Amino acid sequence: MNFFDALNAHAAWKQRLVRHLEDPAGHPISAAAAGRPDQCALGRWLAAHGDDHAQLGALQEAHAALHRAVEAVVQAAADDPVAARRLLEGQFVPASVKLQKLLRALAVAGLKQAG
C-alpha cells in the first residue's frame, strides 16, 4: 500500500463534498457507498492487512470515521444543506485531518509497501 496515494485520495474528499453541496445533481455521491470504508483501496487493504500490524488499529478507526463523516454530510445535504455544511466543518474536517496525519506518519515510517 502506498500511503501517499491513500492520503491524496482521501484528501480529495473535501472538494468532492463541497462540489456535491453546491450542485448535488451535477456531482452526485451515494451516501451508502461513500460511507463504506471497504469501498476504497485503503479500506480493502486495511481489511486484508490491518490485523498484521498493531499500529494500524488507529488508522482503521480514523479511516472508518472519515467515511462515516462523508456519509453524514451527503445524507444531510439532501434535506438541509446548512446542516450538511456544519457537518462538513464539524465532523468531516477533523476526521480528515486525523486520517491524513496518520497516513503521513505511516508513509514517512516506510510502511508504504507493507503487505
H or E element at residue 31:
helix 31-34
In angstroms, the Cα distances linking 69 to 16, 51, 111 are 13, 24, 26
Cell 444543506, located at residue: 81
User: pLDDT (tens digit, 9 = 90+) per residue, 20-31?
Assistant: 999 999 999 999
Task: Report domain 3-108's class.
Answer: mainly alpha
Contact 51, 63 (CB under 8 A): no
Answer whether 0.85 is exceeded by the pTM.
Answer: yes
Q: Per residue in 26-66, pLDDT tens?
A: 999 999 999 999 999 999 999 888 777 777 889 999 999 99
CA distance 115 to 6: 15
